[in-house]
């Protein structure tokens, strides 16, 4: 059947190219998260904690499609962040083929599973699928028509039912059905193929973690904390190779690595008795914050160069004690960031041992964590 959406007055609706362009708007979604999220993200060893709980395409027990209702620009912004397609199921009221299509969406475990890897929406001038608590599908019908259909058909008609697969950029990549019932297998294959072309998507939960990493990376870059920037940008790429977060990280990470190289080289150039304590502390700090990575090994090699210098042999016991104390404080604060208060207090009590009394790390512990030691 053909559908021509009508305006409130009953006149045929065929929007101009300008109106359709205005509807594209700004793709922005506010992501709210606190310092605890950022702390947990940055303290995750190897960033494994950020990986999606369920990789795209993996099995998951679902029987109903998780429909999303919102303005197209808002949903497309989320699709862009997740790097997954938007899949729109459109059908007409009171027509045999469309009614069959509508009812076939209820309790459809095959589609429900496939659409976890996409953002599904339902558009119709009639009723929603049985059991689906949708209220905005009629408004979406007109929005989809105006945005994706009106300018593509000379007479303004829309053969329904139809499934539209829309890229995160807002371009329609595939139209299935166009007046005929769409087999489930075609939709499943379209979602899978589109995700493969996009390079990999992430879950909503992972988007929040990626946003925290991105913000941490930007802040660290702005303040010249190149280890923090390197960790954040590298963390994003450990989670996803594609999408807007990865695109920014791929540009920012090489810049952070270049600055880190300068930092490490400067720490061993011109080192003497007057500056060795600070230079050695810088090298050990880089190694500490890059644990489990190649950067840790590079920083450790530079530190070893300082340790082997005969000029600093008398100073080494004090330098190593300071770094031992700093390691304990670093681990304690990492535990606090994860919410492990008991573990953190246990570590702080180790730092309270007499042999660390004169270290800068112990002084900072007494200034910042005295309440936890009572």
In the beta sheet, which residues pair with residue 320?
none
Q: What's the CA gap between 284 and 304, in Å, rounded?
A: 10
Say yes or no: domain 17-28+55-198 is CATH 3.40.50.1100. no
Domain boundaries, the chain: 17-28+55-198
Q: Which residues contact 284 (CB under 8 A, 6 or more apart)?
A: 299, 303, 323, 326
SS3 call for 307:
helix
Stretch 154-182: mean pLDDT, rounded?
90
**Residue 31: pLDDT over 70:** no
332-362 pLDDT, tens digit per residue, is 999 998 999 999 999 999 999 999 999 999 9
- With bands split at pLDDT 50, 70 and 90, how would you rate the model's confidence at 91? very high
How many other CB atoms sit within 10 Å of the CB of residue 285? 16
DSSP state of 293: S
pLDDT at residue 230 is higher than 90: yes
d(CA 94, CA 72): 25
| Straight-line distance from the first to the last Cα atom of the chain, in angstroms, rounded to the nearest whole number | 76
pLDDT of residue 3: 58
Q: What is the percentage of the chain residues whose pLDDT exceeds 90?
A: 73
Average pLDDT estimate for 200-224: 94
Asked whether 85 and 168 are in contact (CB, 8 A), the reply is yes
Per-residue tokens: 332: 């304690």
- Residue-wise pLDDT tens digits, 65-80: 999 999 999 999 999 9
Q: Which of 212, 209, 215 has its CA nearest to residue 239?
A: 209
CB 120 within 8 A of CB 191: no
Residue 325 has pLDDT above 50, yes or no: yes
């Amino acid at each position: 059947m053909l559908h021509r959406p009508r305006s409130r007055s009953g006149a045929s609706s065929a929007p101009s190219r300008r109106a359709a362009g205005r509807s594209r708007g700004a793709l922005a979604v506010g992501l709210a998260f606190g310092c605890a999220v950022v702390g947990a993200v940055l303290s995750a060893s190897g960033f494994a904690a950020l990986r999606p709980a369920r990789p795209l395409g993996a099995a998951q027990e679902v029987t109903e499609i998780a429909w999303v209702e919102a303005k197209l620009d808002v949903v497309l912004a989320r699709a862009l962040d997740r790097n997954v397609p938007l899949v729109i199921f459109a059908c007409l009221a009171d027509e045999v083929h469309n009614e069959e299509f509508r009812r076939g969406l209820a309790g459809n475990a095959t589609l429900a599973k496939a659409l976890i890897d996409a953002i599904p929406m339902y558009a119709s001038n009639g009723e929603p699928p049985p059991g689906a608590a949708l209220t905005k599908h009629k408004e979406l019908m007109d929005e989809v028509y105006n945005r994706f259909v009106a300018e593509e058909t000379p007479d303004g008609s829309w053969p329904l039912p139809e499934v539209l697969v829309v890229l995160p950029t807002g371009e329609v990549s595939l139209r299935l059905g166009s007046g005929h019932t769409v087999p489930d297998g075609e939709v499943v294959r379209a979602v899978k193929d589109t995700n493969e072309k996009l390079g990999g998507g992430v879950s909503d939960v992972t988007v929040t973690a990626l946003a925290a990493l991105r913000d941490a990376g930007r802040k660290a870059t702005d303040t010249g904390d190149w280890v923090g920037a390197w960790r954040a940008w590298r963390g994003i790429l450990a989670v996803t190779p594609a999408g807007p977060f990865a695109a920014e990280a791929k540009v920012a990470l090489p810049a952070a690595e270049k600055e880190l190289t300068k930092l490490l080289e400067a720490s061993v150039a011109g080192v003497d008795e007057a500056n060795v304590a600070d230079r050695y502390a810088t090298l050990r700090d880089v190694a500490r914050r890059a644990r489990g990575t190649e950067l840790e090994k590079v920083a450790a090699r530079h530190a070893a160069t300082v340790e082997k210098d005969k000029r600093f042999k008398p100073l080494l016991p004090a330098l190593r004690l300071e770094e031992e104390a700093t390691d304990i404080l670093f681990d304690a604060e990492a535990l606090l960031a994860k919410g492990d208060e008991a573990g953190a207090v246990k570590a702080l009590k180790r730092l309270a041992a007499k042999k660390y009394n004169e270290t800068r790390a112990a002084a900072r512990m007494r200034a910042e964590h005295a309440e936890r030691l009572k």
